[in-house]
Every structure is written in structure tokens, then in C-alpha cells.
């Protein structure tokens, strides 16, 4: 019997994943990662979540461990979050957590426990592809919950070691129905928050408490004309229109930052559109010859756009879109797809 270490948040997705793995004949071990201090309602890694996960494991008669990874989480996720905002970049903490914790430290623990695989409740798919002669990461069937975008940075060598039990479901209602059918105590538990370590999603307050942030500076046009005053660069995102406090002849949007001068740069909406971006720290999950036509997704909530990717002399990737894209944002991820297969991805420079 193959042994699987399943990451369990105490939520309905990972709990149903445990049921499905058992039904498929695996020996399942549950693990909950303790990642930060404090108790945050709705968080996937709080003490109550660990208790919920243990209740589910006891009910399903499988072992459960809670492992302290606070130090690693602080290093790879929280400090990265702070540093990116300090440098006027927009982080995605879920991507960092997936790479370093869920598919990093958790895999190390799986090896210690002599597990053959690791599994999570993500909505994504891994299966063998004849064209590439390897296991590939693919989109799941649940388009509204599809999570392949936040998984592009998992190590390539783990593609043979990962199971996503929820890959073939079309929506969350199907998952909850399975949980109710099996009388799971978490069947109606709400989904966890996106930023697990920040109460109420108030990242601005979090940054003010945990980082030295510069407040107040000029809002300028690209030509240097001063049109207003900002309250701290960390309070703004590329593409933002509301909350600028500017009276101008046309609507103005955030189009960039001048960190050295502590200036917020604004412009007309057409200035948000870019036909080319540079992507760094690229993780390839499939070997492809460049240049290559792919579909590139520059934000979790945005559809992919047809594009050409080619390698530059410095090893970074230039992405040229068929049509200009609105508000590519430094620090966010650009993920490359061919059909429903994730080829790779990296950070927008």
C-alpha cells in the first residue's frame, strides 16, 4: 500500500481529499503546519484549524501531526511579503508558501515518514502527458476554483510525487456534498482567507506594524508635474483609480512608483497597457524550445493572453503579447500555458 502525506488545513477541501485518498487505497497521514503566532479566524493554519484537522483524522482513523514551521514561514513568506512592498512590488504569499512550505518542508517531512507521495486539497491536476513524456501540471476541471496559477513554482522534480485528489471535480458544491455524505464535522466550514497571517486582510495595517514605511509624498505625472499627495506607496496598486484624491481633467490611474523620490506616478488609462513584460526567476515545469508561443496569465483572476516568450541574454524571459495587457504588476507572477498545461512561470520584473 502506497503511503501519502496529506496537508490538512482543517477545511472541507483537504478533509474530502483524505476521504478520496483512502477510497483509492492509499495509507493516509495528515499533517497541519503551524506557521505563525496568534489565532486568526478563518485562517488555514491557526490552532483551531489544527484541531479541526485532527478531529477529521480521528473520525477517519488516520494519523495526524501538527508541525511547527513558524521560522521557515516567517523567512520565506512573511519577510518576502514585507520586502516586496518596501520595494514597491506586489507579492503573492500563497505562491511562496506553496514552493517553500507545502511543496518544500512538507515533502521533507514526507521523506522522514517514508511516504511515497504528498497531497493537498488544491484544485489542479497532475497527469502523464505523452507529448512531453513526463508528468505535467494542468488546470483542474473546477474553473471557478482552478489553482494551477499559484502552483507553477513547485519544484519540477516533485511532479512525480504529488497527488491532487480534487482534480476531477467541477465545483465546491460537489466537495461539500461528499463531506456531508460522510458526516464530516467541517462540511459547512467557510473557506479560509487569502492572506492567512493578516487579520481581516488589512495588509496596510500589517505593514505599518511590521515594517518601516515612508508615508506621504508627491503624486506626479510621468512628466514630473505634481498633481497631489499620497499617503504611502504601500497603500496603492498598479491600475488603482479610486482613493487618489486628485481632481484632474481626465481620470487618472496608478501607473508606477518612483521609490527613490517616494513618488506615486499616475497617468491616463491607456498608459496602463503594455505589450511586453520581462519575467525573472523562471521555474520551468516542461522543457520547451524558445522562442515559443504560449498563453500567459499575469494575475490569478485574469484570463491568459496569447503571447510569445523568448529568452534574453541575462536569462530572463521577455513576453510579447499579441494584444497589450492592462496593468502588469511588478512582483506578481506570469504563468505560461500551452492548452491546459503549465509550462512554467516567474515573477514580473
> Catalytic site residues?
97, 196
- Around 17, how many Cα atoms within 13 Å sit in the side-chain half-sphere? 29
Q: Nine-digit cell at 71?
A: 521560522
Q: Are 1 and 26 in contact (CB under 8 A)?
A: yes
Neighbour tally for 307: CB within 10 Å: 24
Q: How far apart are CA 119 and CA 19, in angstroms?
A: 12
**Coil/strand/helix, residue 86:** helix
DSSP class per residue in 135-179: EEEEE-S-TTT--GGGGTTS-GGGTTTEE-TTTT---HHHHHHHH
Q: Are 109 and 43 in contact (CB under 8 A)?
A: no
Amino acid at each position: 500500500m502506497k503511503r501519502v502525506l496529506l496537508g490538512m488545513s482543517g477545511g472541507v477541501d483537504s478533509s474530502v481529499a483524505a476521504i478520496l485518498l483512502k477510497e483509492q487505497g492509499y495509507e493516509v497521514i495528515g499533517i497541519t503546519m503551524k506557521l505563525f503566532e496568534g489565532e486568526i479566524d478563518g485562517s488555514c493554519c491557526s490552532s483551531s484549524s489544527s484541531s479541526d484537522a485532527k478531529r477529521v483524522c480521528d473520525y477517519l482513523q488516520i494519523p495526524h501531526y501538527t508541525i511547527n514551521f513558524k521560522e521557515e514561514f516567517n523567512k520565506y513568506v512573511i519577510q518576502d511579503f514585507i520586502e516586496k512592498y518596501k520595494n514597491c512590488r506586489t507579492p503573492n504569499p500563497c505562491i511562496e508558501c506553496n514552493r517553500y512550505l507545502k511543496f518544500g518542508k512538507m515533502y521533507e517531512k514526507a521523506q522522514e515518514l517514508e511516504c511515497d507521495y504528498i497531497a493537498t486539497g488544491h484544485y489542479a491536476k497532475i497527469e502523464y502527458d505523452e507529448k512531453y513524456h513526463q508528468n505535467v501540471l494542468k488546470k483542474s476541471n473546477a474553473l471557478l476554483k482552478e489553482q494551477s496559477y499559484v502552483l507553477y513554482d513547485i519544484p519540477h522534480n516533485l511532479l512525480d510525487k504529488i497527488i491532487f485528489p480534487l482534480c476531477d471535480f467541477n465545483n465546491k458544491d460537489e466537495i461539500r456534498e461528499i463531506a456531508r455524505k460522510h458526516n464530516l464535522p467541517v462540511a459547512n466550514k467557510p473557506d479560509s482567507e487569502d492572506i492567512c497571517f493578516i487579520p481581516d486582510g488589512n495588509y496596510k495595517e500589517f505593514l505599518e506594524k511590521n515594517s518601516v514605511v515612508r508615508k506621504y509624498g508627491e503624486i506626479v505625472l510621468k512628466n514630473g508635474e505634481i498633481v497631489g499627495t499620497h499617503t504611502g506607496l504601500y497603500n496603492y496598486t498598479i491600475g488603482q483609480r479610486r482613493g487618489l484624491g486628485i481632481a484632474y481633467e481626465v481620470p487618472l490611474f496608478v501607473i508606477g512608483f518612483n521609490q527613490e523620490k517616494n513618488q506615486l506616478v499616475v497617468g491616463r488609462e491607456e498608459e496602463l497597457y503594455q505589450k511586453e513584460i520581462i519575467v525573472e526567476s523562471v521555474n520551468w515545469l516542461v522543457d520547451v524550445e524558445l522562442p515559443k508561443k504560449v498563453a500567459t496569465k499575469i494575475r490569478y483572476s485574469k484570463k491568459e493572453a496569447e503571447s510569445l516568450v523568448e529568452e534574453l541574454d541575462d536569462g530572463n524571459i521577455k513576453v510579447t503579447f499579441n494584444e497589450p495587457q492592462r496593468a502588469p504588476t511588478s512582483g506578481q507572477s506570469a504563468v505560461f500555458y500551452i492548452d491546459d498545461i503549465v509550462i512554467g512561470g516567474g515573477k514580473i520584473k
